[in-house]
Amino acid sequence: MRTAHRTCPLCEAVCGLRLTLDDTGHVTSVKGDPDDPFSRGFICPKGASLGRLDEDPDRLRAPMVRTGQAWAEVSWEEAFRVVERGLTSVIETHGRQSLAVYLGNPNAHSMAGALYGAPLIRALGTRNVFSASTADQMPKHVSCGLMFGDPLAIPVPDLDRTDYLLMLGANPLESNGSLCTAPDFPGRLKALRARGGRFVVVDPRRTRTAALADEHLFVRPGTDAYLLFGIVHTLFAEDLTSAGIEAEGLAEMRELAAEFSPKAVAELCGVPAETVERLARELAAAPTAAVYARIGTCTAEFGTVAQWLVDVINVLTGNLDRPGGVMFAKPAVEIGRRRKPYATGRWHSRVRGLPEANGELPVATLADEIETPGEGQVRALVTVAGNPVLSAPNGTRLDRAFGGLEFMVCVDPYLNETTRHADVILPPPPVMRTPHYDFALLPFAVRNYTRFSPPVLPPEPDRPTEAEILARLTMIASGQGAQADPALLDELIIDQMLRRAVETPGSPVEGRDPAELRAGLQGGNGAEQRLDAMLKLGPYGLSLQALLDAPHGIDLGPLRPRLAEVLCTASGRVELAPPQLVEDVVRLRGRLAAPPAEMVLIGRRHLRSNNSWLHNVGPLVGGSNRCTLQINPQDVARLGLDGHAVVRSAAGELTVPLEPTDAIMPGVVSLPHGWGHAESTQRVASEHAGVSVNTLTDESEIDVPSGNAVFNGVPVTLAPV
Ligand SMILES: Nc1nc2c(c(=O)[nH]1)N[C@H]1C(S)=C(S)[C@@H](COP(=O)(O)OP(=O)(O)OC[C@H]3O[C@@H](n4cnc5c(=O)[nH]c(N)nc54)[C@H](O)[C@@H]3O)O[C@H]1N2
Ligand SMILES: Nc1nc2c(c(=O)[nH]1)N[C@H]1C(S)=C(S)[C@@H](COP(=O)(O)OP(=O)(O)OC[C@H]3O[C@@H](n4cnc5c(=O)[nH]c(N)nc54)[C@H](O)[C@@H]3O)O[C@H]1N2
Ligand code: SF4
Ligand SMILES: [Mo]
């Protein structure tokens, strides 16, 4: 028996884990790490089943190559040769714009995703770049990009110190939080209330999070932007805005909010005007306050406007960049910090003409790009850690579209609904054999903190790490071939990083010799050496060794004001009324008078689930984690439903089991995503297959400024079976 420590890679809470292993390397127990200064022993059922996940017999252990319907295990060398042939043939026949790449959610949780995603995209040389971001948080990137100049400058609620938290469209008691890295989110919310703070939840469902709050308000799906405008209106109308606001566009914002009085929005939102006014007064009066909004508001028709107004309120109430308000974390490693003001729409998608955001096109238009003939039609696809057949809007159409590709390669541990279309599947090693550093999540932590986890078990012989898999794909895509040494890629990147650093005035290594710095880098492979370099160049002057010496993680203190450091707008000030966002208010205004749909569909998450891919782990499925349609009993009676219902939308139709509950508003139904498992690929998951809500979601509807998918507020009709 031995004990090992590592960070849980499954969600954004970055919990430290204490693992016990026997001498065969089998994980006998997983507990929270009580010595981790950030997570302090917290763990959830997903983290506790990490050993089971790694030992899932359906996980792929060798690369798979498909010929027709038949799959064969092949050697890694053979697999990379097939990839080289497939990609080269498509590039030679149709050019690089016929390539596409889709990066899924686990890339935000892996070192490989953080370090090799960008080089892979560059090497592919295509503008057809898609990711789960446009099915998730792109509205927040765009609103922060335009307000603060940097799409990664996302302020987080200062959870541990705030006096008042207004939370919209998030359910951290199930999700453990998102764009707000906070292990033991439930405990932090309880602490907020225990210290006399107030916590208000806005959600069309009375969730477990809502049950823990001081107040829960039902809101009509898709109308948060109106509700938030009602608050902005009141702050101006009642002269509640904080004194001395340093921002551009204050007068314009006042003017924009004029027509969205609480009375004008109340009926549409389903929130009484007096309540909207009271929320504004409470936010203004609280010693400190934070407004935080997540998936329920992002993946909606007015996602970007809603995210923008969240931070407008944070600014107007004087809560941006102050303790207890919303603040910017200062991570030990900052990837991709901008030096130039942000813009979207630098290019547009070929078929629908949708603007690029963060260098990506909306996943809502991936099927259009594959199916529509012409110059630049997508013929080959690379996916890394994604399952868009279940996760993208109208995944059913993507399922068909993928069947028509000339070549597809997937980096994924499972044969699933998406990867079954691949010509080659390249499986990464299990979690225990993978190093971990949260490049993508620590920049959104509610306390400055850092932790590196070396692999708990040694690599298996002849099996590449995920970093090596992605580096080799990058070498193949850039034309250097399947035989090229992936270490060359890291050398190139390290060399560029060090050269830039020695030339940067004020950098800790200004004027030093890059070769000497290179010689001093530590780490057993390129990925670790790159981390070492970034830590040494980072604001705390840490190193890989310092992190190895602190296996439980290092607390770097509470968040501190740092707006001046992150601001990157052309004006040098916060932009309250960026033209691109102001423009979208026209669309918002248009809907104010339109009659709302009688019945709308929203999503939800369950604690023991994780998007589409933990349903093959026995202890995590069943019980409350089921694919049912939550519906208010009034609607069941009104529509004469019994047991099951047929749900129809503009995109498709499903028959689903009903779960009547008064925890959901009348006129709203909720179905979780990530279900609808294909037969015979994963044994446990196919026994609990469920249906895919993304058969109903409509890829033709998007949040215009960000191109983000609309998963909440989808008009549907219900009928008895
Ligand atoms: N209707 C509706 N749809 C939604 C949402 C919703 O709320 N409602 N939510 C959206 C959101 S927020 C997101 S983030 C997306 C997620 O969308 P995706 O990222 O496309 O889907 P996931 O289900 O997260 O699939 C993850 C894939 O990565 C694989 N995987 C797991 N670990 C690893 C690893 O370490 N390496 C590699 N290479 N692969 C790995 C899994 O086997 C799985 O195939 O779904 C979106 N879709
Ligand atoms: N257990 C578990 N944890 C996860 C995941 C998972 O699948 N399972 N996925 C991970 C991922 S990829 C992400 S992005 C995060 C997401 O984390 P969260 O943002 O917390 O996501 P959800 O739990 O889906 O909560 C969204 C809430 O929005 C509500 N909602 C729906 N429509 C509206 C609306 O129009 N307005 C308002 N105000 N509310 C609305 C829903 O009822 C739901 O309660 O969770 C992560 N953590
Ligand atoms: S809350 Fe998230 S990070 Fe923590 S144990 Fe659960 S899945 Fe892992
Ligand atoms: Mo997500």
Nearest-atom number in ligand 1 for the CA of 411 is 38
In the chain, the percentage of residues whose pLDDT exceeds 90 is: 95
| Residue numbers of the domain that contains 22 | 2-54
Burial 599-616 (b: 16+ CB within 10 A, else e): bbbbbbbbbbbbbbbbbb
pLDDT digits (tens, 9 = 90+) for 231-266: 999 999 999 999 989 999 999 999 999 999 999 999
Residues 10 and 71 in one domain: no
- Whose alpha carbon is nearest atom 4 of ligand 3? 15
Residue 613 near ligand 1, beta carbon < 6 Å: yes
Shared-domain flag, residues 97 and 203: no
Separation of CA 578 from chain center: 24
Residue of 12, 136, 138, 178 with the most ligand 2 atoms within 8 Å of its CB, for mutation: 178
Please give the mean pLDDT across all residues of the chain: 97
Class of residue 403 by CB neighbours under 10 A (exposed 0-12, middle 13-18, buried 19+): exposed
What residue's CA is closest to ligand 2, atom 37? 169
182 shares a domain with 117: no
Task: Give the number of other Cβ atoms within 10 Å of residue 376's Cβ.
Answer: 18
* C-beta of residue 126 within 8 angstroms of C-beta of residue 100: yes
577 Cα: distance to centroid of ligand 1 (angstroms)? 33
Alpha carbon of 155 to ligand 3 centroid (Å): 22
Average pLDDT over residues 189-200: 98
Identify the pLDDT of residue 625. Answer: 84
Cβ-Cβ contacts under 8 Å for 315 (sequence gap 6 or more) = 245, 247, 574, 576
Distance CA 128, CA 369 (A): 8
Residues around ion ligand 4, judged by CB within 5 A, are 136
Q: Looking at residue 496, what is its pLDDT?
A: 96
Cβ(411) to ligand 1 under 6 A? yes
Interatomic CA distance for residues 42 and 135, integer angstroms: 29
Question: Residues of the chain with pLDDT > 70: what percent?
Answer: 100
What is the dihedral sign for C-alpha 374, 375, 376, 380? positive
* Model pLDDT for residues 32-73, shown as the tens digit of each residue: 999 999 999 999 999 999 999 999 999 999 999 999 999 999
| 20 and 83 belong to one structural domain | no
Tokens describing residue 442: 């620590």
Number of domains in the chain: 4
Question: What's the gap in Å between 258 CA and the centre of ligand 2?
Answer: 31
**Cβ pair 605, 208 in contact under 8 A:** no
* In a shared domain, residues 457 and 519: yes
How open is the CA angle 688-629-291, to the nearest 5 degrees?
110
Q: How far apart are CA 104 and CA 519, in angstroms?
A: 35
Which CATH number does the domain housing residue 227 bear?
A: 3.40.228.10
Residues 609 and 653 occupy one common structural domain: yes
Q: Which amino acid is at 22?
A: D
The conformation of residue 105, written as its DSSP 8-state character, comes to G
CB of 107 closer than 6 A to ligand 1? Answer: no
CB 574 within 8 A of CB 246: yes
454-475 burial, b for 16+ CB within 10 Å, e for fewer? bbbbeeeeebbbbbbbbbbbbb
Which atom in ligand 3 lies closest to the alpha carbon of residue 48?
5
In 203-259 the beta strands, taken as DSSP E runs, fall at: 215-217, 247-248
**Residue at 516 is within a domain:** yes
CATH number at residue 23: 3.30.200.210
Q: Checking DSSP bridges between strand 326-327 and strand 70-73, what pairing results, if any?
A: unpaired
On whether both 577 and 602 belong to a single domain, the answer is no
104 Cα–ligand 1 center, Å: 5
Q: Which of 447, 251, 196, 411 is nearest to 330 (CA)?
A: 447
**Ligand 1 neighbour 132 (Cβ under 6 A):** yes
Q: Kindly give the distance from the C-alpha atom of residue 415 to the centroid of ligand 2, in angstroms, as a whole number.
A: 26
Half-sphere exposure of 240 (CA within 13 A, CB side): 21
Q: Distance from the CA of 140 to the center of ligand 1, in angstroms?
A: 19
Position 380 in a domain: yes
Q: Which atom of ligand 1 is nearest to the CA of 410?
A: 38
Ligand 2 pocket, residues with Cβ under 6 angstroms: 11, 105, 136, 168-172, 174-176, 178, 202-205, 207, 219, 221-222, 224, 294-297, 300, 602-607, 609-611, 712-713
Instruction: Let me know whether 237 and 208 are in one domain.
Output: yes
pTM for the model stands at 0.98
| Residue 576 shares a structural domain with residue 431 | no
Q: For residue 218, which ligand has an atom nearest its CA?
A: 2
Q: Is the pLDDT of residue 335 over 90?
A: no
105 CA to centre of ligand 4 in angstroms: 6
Among the bound ligands, name the one nearest to the CA of residue 186. Answer: 3
Question: Are 50 and 30 in contact, with CB atoms under 8 Å apart?
Answer: yes
Q: Looking at the domain assignment, is residue 554 inside a domain?
A: no
CA distance 424 to 28: 33
> What single letter denotes the amino acid at residue 170?
A
Domain boundary among 54, 80, 97: 54
- Output the DSSP codes for 399-449: HHHHHT-SEEEEE-SS--TTGGG-SEEEPPPPGGGS-EE-TTTGGGBSEEE
The strand pairing partners of 450, in sequence order, are 554
Residue 334 has pLDDT above 90, yes or no: no
- Among 58, 4, 1, 9, residue whose Cα is nearest residue 30: 4
Look at residue 417 and tell me if it is in a domain.
Answer: yes
With bands split at pLDDT 50, 70 and 90, how would you rate the model's confidence at 116?
A: very high
pLDDT (0 to 100) of residue 374: 97
153 located within any domain: no
Q: What CA–CA distance (Å, rounded) separates 413 from 386?
A: 10
Which residues are registered as beta bridge partners of 407? 380
pLDDT of residue 678: 86
Span 88-102, mean pLDDT?
Answer: 98
Write the residue with the smallest CA distance to atom 8 of ligand 3. Answer: 47
Residue type, 524: G
Whether pLDDT at 326 is above 90: yes
Query: Residue of the nearest CA to atom 6 in ligand 2?
Result: 610
Residue with CA at minimum distance from ligand 1 atom 28:
385
Q: State in Å: Cα 180 to ligand 4 middle.
A: 12
Q: Give a yes or no: residue 151 inside a domain.
A: no
CA-based radius of gyration for the chain? 25
> Alpha-carbon distance 279 to 604, whole Å?
25
| Pair 645, 688 in one domain | yes
What is the rounded distance in angstroms from the CA atom of residue 535 to the CA atom of residue 529? 10
What was the pLDDT predicted at 337? Answer: 72
Specify the DSSP element, H or E, that contains 275: helix 273-285
Q: How far apart are CA 175 and CA 177, in angstroms?
A: 5
647 bridge partner residues: 654, 718
Q: Tell me, what DSSP letter sits at residue 551?
A: T
pLDDT of residue 573: 97
Residue 558 covered by a domain: no
Decide: helix, strand or coil at residue 101.
strand
Can you read off the two tokens belonging to residue 32?
A: 């929270």
Q: Output the residue whose Cα is nearest ligand 2's atom 44.
A: 171
| Residue 80 backbone phi and psi in degrees, to 5 | -65, -30
Instruction: Answer whether 603 contacts ligand 1 (Cβ < 6 A).
Output: yes
Per-residue pLDDT at 512: 96
Least distant ligand from the CA of 177: 2
Whether the CB of 429 sits within 6 Å of ligand 1: no
Ligand nearest to the CA of 135: 1
pLDDT given for residue 622 in this prediction: 84
Going by C-beta distance under 8 Å and a sequence separation of 6 or more, which residues neighbour residue 598?
667, 717
Residue in 223, 295, 363 to alter for ligand 2 test, most ligand atoms within 8 A of Cβ: 295
Taking the centre of ligand 1 as the mean of its atom positions, its distance from the CA of residue 561, in whole angstroms, is 34
- CATH code, domain carrying 421: 3.40.50.740
Alpha carbon of 613 to ligand 1 centroid (Å): 7
- pLDDT 10s digits, 461-485: 999 999 999 999 999 999 999 999 9
**pLDDT above 90 for 698:** yes
pLDDT tens track for 289-305: 999 999 999 999 999 99
Q: Please give the Cα distance from 327 to 354 (Å, whole number).
A: 32
E-only strand ranges, 253-332 = 290-293, 326-327
For residue 113, give Cα distances in angstroms to 116, 120, 483, 712.
6, 10, 22, 28
CATH number assigned to the domain comprising residue 702:
2.40.40.20
For residues 400 and 523, membership in a common domain is answered with: yes
Distance between CA atoms of residues 653 and 225, nearest Å: 29
346 and 483, same domain (yes or no): yes
pLDDT at 594: 86
* Ligand 1 near 384 CB (within 6 A): yes
pLDDT on residue 202: 98
Q: Are 478 and 123 a contacting pair, CB within 8 Å?
A: yes
Inter-CA distances, 155 with 24, 140, 227, 297, Å: 45, 10, 21, 16
Ligand index nearest the alpha carbon of residue 306 = 2
Distances 384 to 195, 330, 611, 613 between C-alpha atoms, Å: 44, 28, 15, 14
Quote the pLDDT of residue 679. Answer: 78
Nearest to 309 by CA among 321, 325, 297, 295: 297
CA distance 625 to 637: 25
Q: Which atom of ligand 2 is nearest to the CA of 172?
A: 20
At 567, the pLDDT band (50, 70, 90 cuts) reads: very high
Mean pLDDT of 364-378: 98
User: Pocket residues for ligand 3 (CB within 6 Å)?
Assistant: 8, 10-11, 13-15, 43-44, 46-47, 176, 183
| CA-wise closest residue to 151 among 338, 304, 12, 348 | 338
> 37-40: long-range contacts (C-beta < 8 A, 24 or more apart)?
37/449, 37/552, 37/553, 37/554, 37/555, 38/14, 38/183, 38/445, 38/447, 38/449, 38/451, 38/553, 38/555, 39/13, 39/14, 39/15, 39/183, 39/184, 40/183, 40/184
Nearest ligand 2 atom, CA 44: 1
- d(CA 434, CA 428) in angstroms, rounded, equals 9
Residue whose tokens read 């001395």? 244
Boundary residue ending a domain (549, 577, 610):
549
Residue 31 CA to ligand 4 center (angstroms) comes to 25
Token pair of 658 as six digits: 């009903």
Q: Could you identify the atom of ligand 1 that is nearest to the CA of residue 414?
A: 42
Ligand 3 atom with minimal separation from the 13 CA: 3
711 close to ligand 1 (CB < 6 Angstrom): yes
